[in-house]
Amino acid sequence: MRIARSLLAACVLALAGTVAIAAPAAASTPIDKKLSFTCPFPLIGRQKLDVEVKASFEVPSAPGGTFTTSDLAVAVTVPDKSTRGLALVGAASIEGTASAGVTLANGSLTLPLSLPLTVAKTAVPASGPFTTNASGSVPPVQLPNAGKTTLTIGNFSTRLTPKKADGSYTGLGSFTSDCTLDAGQDPVLLAFDLRSSRAYGVTGSTTLKTLGATAPLTGSVTGFTPAFDPAHAEFKVFGFVPGTADLRFTPDGPQAGELTGDGFVAHAKLALAVPRVTLFGLPVADAGCRASAPIPVDLKTGPGFALASGGPVSGQYAIPPLTGCGAFTAYLSSLVQGEGNTFALTLTAR
């Protein structure tokens, strides 16, 4: 029976390593979770074990970001009777591994995970209770979807090895125990709603390098998708011929991006239409005048930007040849085609 109790104490240690998977909650928010598990042991049968888990977490503010965990601390107090059981078989320390089961649910995504963990080598006293700590590494996880997001703990399995003072094995050798979460508890370690998008109003400008013109811009950015209002540029050809160009930047297909700390990079793909161009006040372009291919541009937040309030965003892009402009297509294309064009924007959270 005392040997069986030693198994119980060992499995308590393994459970500590397992529960260390507890992952993200609100940024800089401490979590203190108490759960009970039932584990089968030789001779003494199924036993209930209590564990306390503490951790801090960082949660993204929009889909496409990642959440991470830090400051994991799992403390398990081994009772005196289990300590004496371990001492009876000559165990001076105990160590091992664990495989923990959790389920990550993010919107429509349900992802079962099995996390490998390490039970640190812990000295076993001759008698009396002792406390052991276990640690594990939880890699950052990207959350692609909007909606309710939860991290739920499930069952776990342990492989433990008690050892004598000289490092040799006890009569127990290494053994495995599979444990289950007791019913009637809340198994959710983390729950939050990931907002589908963050919306900003836009002011700023775009500069067309070859044309030598700057056009004021207004519009919005929702998530990673920019939506600009129609813009108007004024320019001079050869330094004295007055001209104007209407510009229409619109999203071309799905837009992507990722969060970068308290900012983001939007990998925009834009269609550019130039439905009206004038020289000396006379229209010289057909209404179907447009860029011949989508325009990729990375819109990056700058110093001082905050997701909660907004700030500066900029990007550079190249304009491909124009098409559909009518008789002057080649000439008009030569006026605007080329690299080094820029967006200089200011976003304001709505």
The tens digit of pLDDT for each residue in 34-89 reads 887 777 765 545 767 777 777 777 777 667 777 777 776 667 666 676 777 778 88
Mean pLDDT over the full length of the chain: 81
Three-state DSSP class for residue 12: helix
Q: Which DSSP helix (H) or strand (E) runs through 82?
A: helix 80-88
The tens digit of pLDDT for each residue in 75-110 reads 766 667 677 777 888 889 988 777 777 788 887 788
What pLDDT does 12 receive? 33
Average pLDDT over residues 184-198: 79
The tens digit of pLDDT for each residue in 160-190 reads 788 999 999 988 788 787 888 889 999 887 8
Supply the DSSP symbol for 86. Answer: H
Q: Which DSSP helix (H) or strand (E) runs through 255?
A: none
C-beta neighbour count of 58 within 10 angstroms? 17
pTM over 0.75: no
Q: How far apart are CA 234 and CA 228, in angstroms?
A: 18
Say which residues have a Cβ less than 8 Å from residue 122's Cβ, sequence separation at least 6.
13, 93, 94, 95, 130, 132, 133
- Report the DSSP beta bridge partners of residue 157: 99, 178
The tens digit of pLDDT for each residue in 287-300 reads 999 999 999 999 99
Average pLDDT over residues 132-144: 75
The tens digit of pLDDT for each residue in 215-263 reads 999 999 998 899 999 999 999 998 899 999 999 999 998 888 877 777 8
C-beta neighbour count of 201 within 10 angstroms? 14
